[in-house]
Structure formats: C-alpha cells, structure tokens
Structure 1
Amino acid sequence: MVSKETSIKVSEESKEGQFNLDGILSELGSFGKYQLLLLLLLAFRDSFLAMCNFNYVFAAAEVNFRCVVPECESLESGFNASWRSFALPNEPGTCRRLTPLDAVSNSSVDDQFTYTCAPDNFTWNRTMNCDKLIYEDYNSIVAEFDLGCEPWKRTMIGTVHNLGLVFSFIISGLISDKYGRKVIIVGTPLVVGVAGLIKSFSVNYWMLLVFEFLETALGYGNASMVLSLETVSQNQRVMFSCIADLLACIGSAFFGLIAWKVPYWRHLMRAIYAPLLVVVFYIFLIDEGVRWLLAHNKNHEAVRVLNKVAKINNIQLSKKAQQMLMNIAGESKSQQAGENPPSERPHLLSVLRSKKIVVRVLLIAACFICCTFVYNGTIINSASVSGNKYLNLSALMLVQVPTRIVAALTLTRFGRKAPICVAYTLCCLFFISSAFIPQSIWWLSVLFYLFGKMCSSYGVFSMYVVAMEVFPTTSRNSLTNIANTVGRLGSVLAPQTPLLEKYMTGLPSVVFGLVALGPAMLALLLPETSQADLPDDVTSAENLDKPHEEQGVDNTTQDELPRIAVSVTREK
C-alpha cells in the first residue's frame, strides 16, 4: 500500500509583512468549485445579454412587402398573388404601383367601361403611391408598425440602440469603480430584462424607440470581464477570462436557434429578456471582487471572500497566507476604530492628471476605433451570405470559440503585444487577399474572409484584456469604458462599408485590411502586461512600462508567485 503526503507552501521569498494577494489566489486555485460556479453564472448572464444586444437583428428585420391593389385584392389577396406581374412594378420593395386606366384620365375611358383586374387595365408607363402595404410575414417590427415605406425608421432602431450603449459604458464604468463590480453584474441585467419586457408590449413605434434607448443606456457594460480578470492569479487571468468569454459565445449562439423557433418579435423578446430576471439571485451567489475590496480599504470583507473561496474549494491555506489575512483584517479593524484612517481614494479626474494614463487612454481608444470598425464591418458585410439567416448568425457567434482557445494559449505564452500585432497583420493579409481572388474560386475568397474575421475577433478580445491590465483598479472599468466609448466611432462608420461595393468589388475587404494595420502598429506603443500584476494605483500603473526590477518589487514576477514544494514519503 502506498500513501502520499503532500505539503504545499507559499514561497518564503516574499518580503516580510508584505501582503501577497497573487500568491494567495494561486493557493486557492483558478478552477476550483468556486471559480467554476462563477464561470457558469457569468456565462448565463453574458449569453442572454448578448442575445438582447443583437435582438434588433431579427426583431427589426427587413420584410418583403407589396402595395395593396384594391382593384385586384378581391380576386386574390395573398402576398404572392398571380396578378402581381401586371399590376405592380418589377422593382422589389417599391412603395409605388402601376396606375389603373380609370385613374389616368376619366375622359379617356368609355362611360360603359367596366373595370376588371386584367393586364390591359393598367398603364405600364405610370405609377402612383401606395395607400397601404401587405407584408410577406408579420413577424417583424417593420411589418407590425408598417415601416416598409419608411426605411429610416427601421435603421433608426439600431442607431438608437448604439447611442444608448455609449451612455451605458460610461455610466456602468463609473458605477463599477465606485460601488463595485457586483452592482453592475446584478443591476444591469435586471434593467435590461425589465425594459425589454416592457418594450415587447409597445403599442407604437415611438414607445418601442424610447425603451430601446433606456434598455441600452441603463444596461450592459463589461463588468463580467473585469471581475474574471481580478478573480484569479496573474498567470491564470487570461485563461480564466478566455473560458468565461468562450462559454458566453457558445450560449449566445443559441440566439439564432431561438429566433428560428420563435420568429414573432414580441414572443422572441420575451423569450430572451425574461431569463435575465433570474440574475436577481446573483446577489446571494456572487461575491464582490477581492481586488476592488482591497483597493477601497474593505479589507475585512476581502478576507471573508478569500476564506469563503478556500472553504468551497476545500483548500487549507498555508500559515503564511493565513497570517497575511489576519494582518489585513487587523488593519481593517484599526481603520474602523479610527486609529489608522484609510487613505482617500483618488478621483477619476485626479487619475487623468497622469500624462501616461491619458496617453494610454488615447492609444487604446484609437485601437478600439480600428478594432470595432473591422469587427462590426465584417459582420455587416457577411449578412449577404446565402443560406438560413438564423443559422448564419449562430455560425458567426461560434466562430469566436476557436479564437478564444487560441487566445488562452498564446496570450499567456507569448505576451500581449506580439500576438495582437501578428493577429492584425494576418487580418490585413487575409482580407486584402480575399478581395482579389478570382470569382471562379469563390470558396477560397470566403475562406480567407472567414480567417480574417477570426483574426479580428482574436484581436478585439486581446485589446480588451490589455485595456483592463494597464489601468489601476480604482478606475479600471471607468477608463476602459471611456476608451471603448470613443472607440465606438468605428462601429458607427462600419455600416457604411457596403456602399464601397459600388466603386469596386471587394473594396470593403481591402479597407478592412488597411484599417487592421492600425492596432497592429499602435499595440507596440503599449506596455507589456503579461508578466505584471494588475496595478492597484496610479503609480504602479505608470511603472508598467519600466523594467520589473525598477518597480520596487521582487526581481521577477515569478518570485511573487507561490512556489510549490512537494515532499513525498512512501510506506509499504
């Protein structure tokens, strides 16, 4: 019989008395029961939020329509009536119909003329406006609110949706940094769910537009990714975030299938918005981020969370880790007693007094403009791909899954800047190549386009990771969302790219390729963060681009991580 005794100790190389959060997080593990539950909870939340964010793709989908022809409706009133060939123009989606003879000139028609629905009773060279429309189906907002002849109202829904997101990212970032990640993680889905359900009962177009704005302006945000980055140790944070995002991508891919089975827009909205109300129970299931708690001098609560993780994961912390927790808990009690008042937290404006921080915000904002332009533009231009529109959307969501797996492997091993540069350089080559491939081998063009889309998806996720790693904990979400808000200029311009096809076939892909060179070059100006701890204050954030030995810490990041010593004894 063989028995093994395994002892795991935190490295004694840490400075005496220095609190080593990264070492404690490593001891607690990155994929224990606690972290796996957190991954599933975040995936459920983010999956349905993604579905709601794309709801207008199907809810406000364009629908084929035709004019009502009173002279012929009594004969056959279906959308594909047989008399369409001689009573309506050949142009699809037009709001005009052929003028009947009796409306051209009453004097030219015999008083005894009896009007019938026949080809000879319509003029081929004159048209008139429609009084009423008939739609191919009534599953869309366009049909129900009769927007066929007012296409600007249909596109306005998407515009208002994106305009609301601008406010959402700013508001959620400020709230998240001041009141905690948990407030946004629990609060925004509830707002989105309630607003979406009310929106599904809209009695007219304008009511729907108001709640479309309120939904996006008060909901969404990226607190989930911030929490996932802050939950685990430095060497596992990219892997953990990739898995969280990968699960959300898989979950959101079900949107196409749900919309396929529930096509009517009111029922579809209720099917995807109602599950978000379950997030109210996250109040009891999710804890506040430990890094945020420590950065805001809530040491006692941070110790409680860390002990909870250890209990759920069935892990016995080392004596040194327990001593660290006792020390910071004691500091918290001293602060509450007034013996050692907590230092005042820096305001967002005071953080922006740092020139380095401002430059990084501008650099990341410029990267986001290029990234969102390419990412959203490729999705918009791929909408013309033939096939089932519901399955096409699900496929586009699933394309992100392999990119997250690659990101988890490469961002940890090769750092941040090099993979981003390589990804967007390949993105440039794939898109430009797809534009000049002969039509005789169209499948190769589509394949290159798909590879370019995958590189773009990889690059967007990687930029988000870098953006959250270069800013201090006290203003991480705010600064990331400010850069993201400016970067949404790219998503505003992206819908105009299909117009470029009028000048040259494949020109949109060429433009995507050229714009992709932007983040490939700008990423070189950002600090390398793969081997650095998440900065908790402005000073540590400013020192990210300095050699590690100059930052006033241990010589290497690896020395700050717990080293595991395993002793094994065997008995027969």
Structure 2
Amino acid sequence: MSKETSIKMEEGSGSHESQFNLDGILSELGSFGKYQLLLLFLLAFRDSFLAMCNFNYVFTAAEVGYRCEVPECELSTTKFNDTWTSFALPNVSNTCYRMAPQYASNGNYTEQDERWLSIWSRNETCLPEHFSNRTMPCQKIVYEDYNSIVAEFDLGCEPWKRTLIGTVHSLGLVFSFIVSGLISDRYGRKVVIVVTPLVVGVAGLIKSFSVNYWMLLVLEFLEAALGYGNASLVLSLETVSQKRRVVFSCIVDILTSIGSAFFGLIAWKVPYWRHMIRAIYAPLLVVVFYIFLVDEGVRWLLAHNKKHEAVRVLNKVAKINKITLSQKAKAMLIKITEERNKSDEANQSSPPEQAHLLSVLRSRKMVMRVALIAASFFCATFVYNGTIINSTTIWGNKYLNFSALLLVAVPTRIVTAFTLMRFGRKAPICVAYSLCAAFFIASAFVPKSIWWASVLFYLVGNMCSSYGMFSMYVVAMEVFPTTSRNSLTNIANTVGRLGSVLAPQAPLLDQFMLGLPSILFGIVALGPAMLALLLPDTSKAVLPDDIADAEKLDEQPEEAQPVPSGTISEQEKERF
C-alpha cells in the first residue's frame, strides 16, 4: 500500500516538494498496520468494559417480581409463587397490597389479631374463605429473587428509586462529557483515555460495598461524573487518513460491541449485583498501563504546536509498521522539526486554548451547528439508551436480549462503513431514523401470540438507532475543528444527554399501556431524521483544523472532491 500511495503522491505533488499534508503522510503509513491494529484492540478493550459499566444499572437495578408477605399462609417455608396466592393476593402483579383476612378490623391488621393468626397457623390451612374482598397495605415484601439492589434495599414499593439510579447516572454523564471534552482538547486525548477508566474502576469497586441505597446513588453519580467521555472515537478518527477514518472508527466500535455484549452473559452467570459489579469494574484498572502503550493523537499535537512530539509519533508508526516513507514525507518531517522553535514562539504569542471556545460564540454558523447537533443528540440518546434499558422488559431472556441489542451493532457498523462513504452523511441518517420510528411503533402492536415478531422488530429498530447514533457522532467530529473538536462535540452531547436522563423512566410507561415505551421511541426518532438534513455533508471534506475551515464546510458543494493526497491548500501551506 505504501509503495502505491507514495507513487501517487509523488505524481500529485510534482515539483512542489514542500506540498505534503498530514493526510498524505497518514496514507503512506497505512491504516491497518501493526501499530493501528494494536491501537484498535487497546481502545476496544477499554471501551468494552466502560460500556458494561455505563449500563451496569440495567441489571443492578433490574425490576424484580415482588408480592406482599401473607403470614397467614407463609408456613414453614416461603415460596414466591404458591397456590394460595390466587386468592390471598389481588389479581395484579407487583402490588403493595394484599387481601385482608376475615379477622382483620376494617382491613387493618392489629396486634390483637395475633391470637387469630396463631390459631390459623396451627390449623396449617389457607383457604379462600379466610380472606375478605377488602385490601390492606403490605407489612413486608417478598421478592422473586434477591440478586438486585431492588430486593436488597427493599425498593419494591418505591419503583421511582429504582429508575432514579439510571437517571442519576445519566446526570453524571452530562457533567462528565463537558469535563472530559475540555480536558481532551486542552491536555490531549491520551489523558482522558487513561484516567477516566481508572476513575470508573475505582468508584465502581467502592460502589460494590455500598451499605444502603443512598450511598450507592452518590457513588453512581460520582462514577459517571468523573469518568467516561468519547476520547477514543476522537483519537480513532484523527489517527488515519480521510478515506479511512469512518472504516477505522467502525472497526473500533465493532470490537467494542462484541466485547460489551459479554455483559449479558456475565450478568447471567454472576447474577448477584455486588459480585457482578466487581467482575466488570476490576478489569478497567489494567488501563493504567496504557500510559506506555498509547500515543497522543498526531493531529492534536500539530494543532497545539507540539511538532517535535508529532514527528516522533509518526516515525514510531513507520518503524512499527515497517514502512519506508517517501523522500518528500521525510523532508516534510524534517522541515516540521526544524521549524519547531519558530512555532513554539508563535504559540507563546497566540491566545490561550479558551479563545477557541470563545470564538465559537462569535460565529453564528458554529453556534447553530452546536444547537442542531445538541437537539439531534437529545433525541438519539433518549432512543438508544431507552431501548437498551427497556430490553429487559420485552419478551424472552433479559440477559440474551441485552446482549443481542449490543451485538446488532456489529452488522450495523459494517453497513455504516459502506453507506456513509457511498451516500454521504445526511441521507443515511435520515433514512435510518425513519426506519427506526417505523419498526419501534410496529413492535408495540404485534400480538402476544407472535412475540418473536415483536422482538425482531425491536432489534431491527435498535439497529437503526445504533446506526444513527454512531453516524451522528461521526458528523459531530467532522464539523468541528481540531482545536476544539472534543469540547464542542461534548458540549452538544451534554445538552443531548438530557435525553438519556429521561430514558430510564421510559419503562414505567408500560404501566399505562403495554408497548407505550416503544411507541414513544418511534416518535422521538423522527427528530434526528429531520434535523440531519440541516447539517453539512462532510463525507468528502478533510477534517477542519480551525473555526474558519469549519465554517467553510457549509459552502462546499455536495460533489466536492477531497484534497488530493499530494497537494495541500493555501491554509495548510501556511500552517506547515
């Protein structure tokens, strides 16, 4: 590949030896050499366990069947389902009321009724005539199993506490994405890639020793607020050339989806929530060794005038991939190194990094772009997170359903890689979310007798949601400049995360109408389908390095060709 690319570049550059851009160098280095493959697996390992932790509450706070304890019928052993439950309990599942015994005064159990209870228990009989047609509140709750915090912290009659865990987690992510984006753009992608998993791992392990509900809730928020972020996606987009950035990012996401799908199996085989949490959080501590294994992104280094370090990384990639760079590429790297001191002096006189964010506020186009992407993320995260959380309530094995919803991302990413390159960005996103709406709404009206069709529609709808979610991230990364790419993306994503804050409450709608959550997901999915049409198509544009480049994306015609590998624009000449 390097030989063919080098020849092409030499032909394209002609006599202009200095006209050699970063995209051309990355093309020579290849996209799937040993260096990139190692980076793929390192990012996939990190992101797989982070994804498991990000959805830990799906199983730790899973809904559990419960009923009132009926001491008149609970004799030597307590069974969740018994023959007497049909007349001792209301004909409603998961209720905090029971049928009042005949001896109870006005449906209220009092201390003086202990004598009646004693006589009843000695008879060892529990008959329908022993109960009235009145109901009374539960004195104690019996759970179907005791694997989740719902049973351990007795949350059966307080369902809002169960869903509040997911909401608090999502609120923490709102804070996390702002902080991680600012840190990533200011101090580098590597800092976020290494530090956030360590924070999540430590906080999660401490969380597994929670002594009560409120301690767990606080740790859930701190874990989400101080960890996570999307630095991996940013680094993967910036590591390879323009023609390979979508494919490379899709492969990272495919490996991540395969890895995170094991969470369903782990939760199945290790159902007790404390043990399960330790099983998925402890591996994140290994990421500390990424300090020696992962390099900073070259685009970030060049954008921040760390040219000497950028040249070192590029030479390292060439050495590991056993690539011999062309003479023009070597000359360009030498020129960058020689201009290091001059660039450093210019960097000292330039405005600080915060000015990049302030300059966005002065750009109407960029503000509108942030608003559009934020609104799209709001709808996208509500639908995607809501469908994952709601997967445990649809027909079938909840563990296999959860894994299946994550594994559908594998064929989805393959389709994503081809369609985003072939048909641009806007049309595929619009079509994906339109289909998403159709399949989710259809799944809600399938008769119970053909439950498998409902599950199938739900899975296909989730595939479309996953497609749209990933594509929106790609578009967000491509429309913002390198100097503030992660910050602006995460600012938009932070506003959008309010959708994921509401998502954990969606399963509660089943109480009003079976399938109502799916209908709501379908309606909300129409939002990004329409908003995507207002964004610029960036499929054939190079990644913008500053605000001026980003603003010009709207001016590029749909069929604009990418900058040839061997030549660079006037702005790129000035930068180099």
One-letter amino acid of the structure 2 residue matched with residue 301 of structure 1: E
Residue 380 of structure 1: CA displacement? 4.5
SS in 1 for 2:539: coil
Task: Map 1:540-555; keep pairs closer than 5 Å.
Answer: 540-547=549-556
1:115 aligns with 2:115: no
1:343 aligns with 2:347: no
- The normalised TM-score by structure 1 is 0.89
Task: Map 1:323-402; keep pairs closer than 5 Å.
Answer: 323-336=331-344, 338=345, 341=348, 343-344=350-351, 345=353, 346-402=355-411
How has the CA–CA distance of structure 1 residues 469 and 253 changed in structure 2, closer, same or farther, with 3 Å as cutoff?
Answer: same
1:316 aligns with 2:324: yes
- In the alignment, which of 411, 419, 439 is matched to residue 410 of structure 1? 419
Alpha-carbon distance in structure 2 between the residues aligned to 1:133 and 1:158: 23
How has the CA–CA distance of structure 1 residues 398 and 7 changed in structure 2, closer, same or farther, with 3 Å as cutoff?
Answer: closer
C-alpha contact 2:388 2:402 (8 A) present in aligned 1: no
- In the alignment, which of 146, 151, 165 is matched to residue 143 of structure 1? 151
The number of aligned residues is 554
Alpha-carbon distance in structure 2 between the residues aligned to 1:436 and 1:136: 29
1:222 aligns with 2:230: yes
- The normalised TM-score by structure 2 is 0.88
Structure 2 equivalent of residue 570 of structure 1? none
Residue 495 of structure 1: CA displacement? 4.7
Structure 2 equivalent of residue 452 of structure 1? 461
1:557 aligns with 2:557: no
1:530 aligns with 2:553: no
Unaligned 5+ residue runs, structure 2?
Answer: 569-576
Residue 39 of structure 1: CA displacement? 0.3
Alpha-carbon distance in structure 2 between the residues aligned to 1:441 and 1:7: 54
SS in 2 for 1:375: helix
- Which whole-Å deviations, capped at 9, do the CAs of 1:404-459 have from their partners, x for residues lacking one? 00011111122212222222233344445556667776655554443332222111
C-alpha contact 1:297 1:342 (8 A) present in aligned 2: no
Alpha-carbon distance in structure 2 between the residues aligned to 1:108 and 1:273: 51
1:287 aligns with 2:295: yes
Alpha-carbon distance in structure 2 between the residues aligned to 1:210 and 1:497: 22
SS in 2 for 1:255: helix
SS in 2 for 1:272: helix
C-alpha contact 1:17 1:324 (8 A) present in aligned 2: yes
C-alpha contact 2:5 2:27 (8 A) present in aligned 1: no
More moved, 106-115 vs 535-544: 106-115
Structure 2 equivalent of residue 27 of structure 1? 28
Task: Map 1:465-544; keep pairs closer than 5 Å.
Answer: 465-495=474-504, 497=506, 509-544=518-553
Alpha-carbon distance in structure 2 between the residues aligned to 1:300 and 1:439: 64
C-alpha contact 2:98 2:137 (8 A) present in aligned 1: yes
Alpha-carbon distance in structure 1 between the residues aligned to 2:326 and 2:298: 19
CA RMSD in angstroms comes to 3.1
Residue 384 of structure 1: CA displacement? 3.1
One-letter amino acid of the structure 2 residue matched with residue 136 of structure 1: E
Residue 232 of structure 1: CA displacement? 0.2
How has the CA–CA distance of structure 1 residues 164 and 517 changed in structure 2, closer, same or farther, with 3 Å as cutoff?
Answer: same
How has the CA–CA distance of structure 1 residues 263 and 413 changed in structure 2, closer, same or farther, with 3 Å as cutoff?
Answer: same
One-letter amino acid of the structure 2 residue matched with residue 115 of structure 1: I
SS in 2 for 1:557: coil
Unaligned 5+ residue runs, structure 1?
Answer: 550-554, 564-572
Structure 1 equivalent of residue 68 of structure 2? 67
C-alpha contact 1:377 1:494 (8 A) present in aligned 2: yes
Residue 62 of structure 1: CA displacement? 1.8
Structure 2 equivalent of residue 8 of structure 1? 6
Structure 2 equivalent of residue 164 of structure 1? 172
SS in 1 for 2:350: coil
SS in 2 for 1:138: coil
Structure 2 equivalent of residue 197 of structure 1? 205
More moved, 441-450 vs 473-482: 441-450
SS in 2 for 1:451: helix
Structure 2 equivalent of residue 91 of structure 1? 92
More moved, 404-413 vs 216-225: 404-413
1:425 aligns with 2:434: yes
Residue 136 of structure 1: CA displacement? 2.3
Residue 510 of structure 1: CA displacement? 5.0
C-alpha contact 2:254 2:410 (8 A) present in aligned 1: yes
Residue 509 of structure 1: CA displacement? 4.8
C-alpha contact 2:166 2:504 (8 A) present in aligned 1: no
One-letter amino acid of the structure 1 residue matched with residue 242 of structure 2: Q
